[in-house]
Amino acid sequence: MKKVVMTLAFALALTGVHAQTENNNGYNKWSIDLGAGFNKPQRPFSDGYSTNTVSPWTGDLGVRYMLNNKFGLKADFGYNSFTAKGSSIDFDSKYYRVDLQAVANLGRIMNFETWTNTIGLLGHAGFGYSQLRSDNFRGADEMGNFIAGVTGQIRLSNRVALTGDFSTILNASQDRTFDGSYVGGNRGFSGLIFNGTVGLNVYLGKNTKHADWTVISNEDSDISALESKVADLESQIKNRPAQKEVIVEKQVSAPQPADNDLIKRMINDKYYSVYFDFNKTTPIENSTAAIDVVLNYLRKNPSASLDLVGYADQVGKAEYNEKLSNARATNVKTIFEKAGIASSRLNVIANGADTSIQKDSDEARRLARRVTFIVK
């Protein structure tokens, strides 16, 4: 029996184990996006015409719908004013556009939540229809456009985020320069504008958070699968042939209390630990065996109590890692409670980041993301 226990413990210690997440059942998907700022039309211009290096005015009004917490769609209307700078021939042009864009929540895709909950990043790109109007010609120059950009976000509350956007617009079939002169034959993307705006995301809906700031995990389904594996192991133990149990007992030279002492020492010496993927609060599959050993010990020793000590690796802020380590230990406690262990026998301890393990090694960080046990 000792050989089996030692082999199992060694295998668990070598088990390899990805990001601190929170589970949200509902989040808002709609927002109104407002922005105002400056522009710089690059081309085309006639000789003698130009704008300031940074030229006012630019405005943007959009309505955005997120399909999930990573991808969405945005319909927006934009306005640009182009006027002459001091050395340029006078002109006054207006540029209008309407676009349908795809939006990617780069903050969630790149797991910003591992180091901040207040800074976000959106990427957007799409196509639309544009008009250029000028005091140098009648009517409007109609064209298609392609727009792409990035939007930085600072969350001020669950309803409002401050934004800063930089976008590039390419105009197709632009027959007029930005100063209003005619240049026929421009079928391709000949027009180029840079826009920079500062604005707000105003979030709509009845839920607490918007999709921009929601991190989704499959934690509940993962726990259910883990609990099922524990149940299967318990069933296998209960259905083990009686003769086999007798043989094992004969092979063990020490009495049963000694076996209990051995398992207790191994639990307290961290041979049995529960490991987690980076930024996750659900144990990895290979931690099932460690949970089963500790669970069986508690059932055979009803007077024993247990400390569940949670850890995180050193990636991220200390405050976040403390919350993460607590969530990990609490989830393991929940598994024990559902298996019939009284809550009064279980004590959660959040130790935050494990500073005893180097943080510049992926393998070392895998060992840091764990819950250990102390039997009392």
For 313-335, the pLDDT digits (tens) are: 988 899 999 999 999 999 999 99
Mean pLDDT, the chain, as a whole number?
A: 84
Confidence of residue 261 (pLDDT cuts 50, 70, 90): confident
The whole-angstrom separation of Cα 362 and Cα 226 is 25
Residue 18 has pLDDT above 70, yes or no: no
Domain 2-21+217-375 has CATH 3.90.1150.170: no
**Among 183-187, 336-340, 350-354, which is the least confidently predicted range?**
183-187
Pair 289, 8: CB distance under 8 Å? yes
Residue 261 host element (H or E): helix 256-268
Coil, strand or helix: which one is 108? helix
The whole-angstrom separation of Cα 106 and Cα 337 is 38
pLDDT number for residue 41: 94
Coil, strand or helix: which one is 236? helix
For residue range 172-231, list pLDDT tens digits in order.
999 999 999 998 777 788 899 999 999 999 999 999 899 999 987 544 444 455 555 555
Q: For the whole model, what pTM was predicted?
A: 0.56
> CATH 2.40.160.20: which residues of the chain?
30-213
The whole-angstrom separation of Cα 143 and Cα 327 is 54
pLDDT number for residue 143: 94
Domain 30-213 has CATH 2.40.160.20: yes
The whole-angstrom separation of Cα 31 and Cα 53 is 32
pLDDT number for residue 87: 86
The whole-angstrom separation of Cα 177 and Cα 132 is 9
pLDDT number for residue 12: 39
pLDDT number for residue 26: 80
DSSP 136: T
pLDDT number for residue 19: 34
pLDDT number for residue 227: 54
pLDDT number for residue 361: 77
**Among 14-18, 120-124, 154-158, 349-353, which is the least confidently predicted range?**
14-18
pLDDT number for residue 359: 75
pLDDT number for residue 244: 42
Angle at 315 between CA 312 and CA 320, to 5 degrees: 65
pLDDT number for residue 286: 82
pLDDT number for residue 183: 86
- Going by DSSP bridges, is the β-strand pair 370-375/306-312 parallel, antiparallel, or unpaired? antiparallel
The CA radius of gyration of the chain, in Å to the nearest whole number, is 31
Coil, strand or helix: which one is 286? helix
The whole-angstrom separation of Cα 139 and Cα 134 is 8
Across the range 234-254, mean pLDDT stands at 44
Residue 85 has pLDDT above 70, yes or no: yes
> CATH 3.30.1330.60: which residues of the chain?
2-21+217-375
For residue range 123-181, list pLDDT tens digits in order.
999 999 999 999 989 999 999 999 999 999 999 999 999 999 999 999 999 999 999 99
For residue range 265-317, list pLDDT tens digits in order.
999 998 899 999 999 999 998 888 899 999 999 999 999 999 999 999 988 89
For residue range 32-76, list pLDDT tens digits in order.
999 999 999 999 999 999 998 888 899 999 999 999 999 999 999
Confidence of residue 375 (pLDDT cuts 50, 70, 90): very high
| 202 token code pair | 């105003």
pLDDT number for residue 184: 74
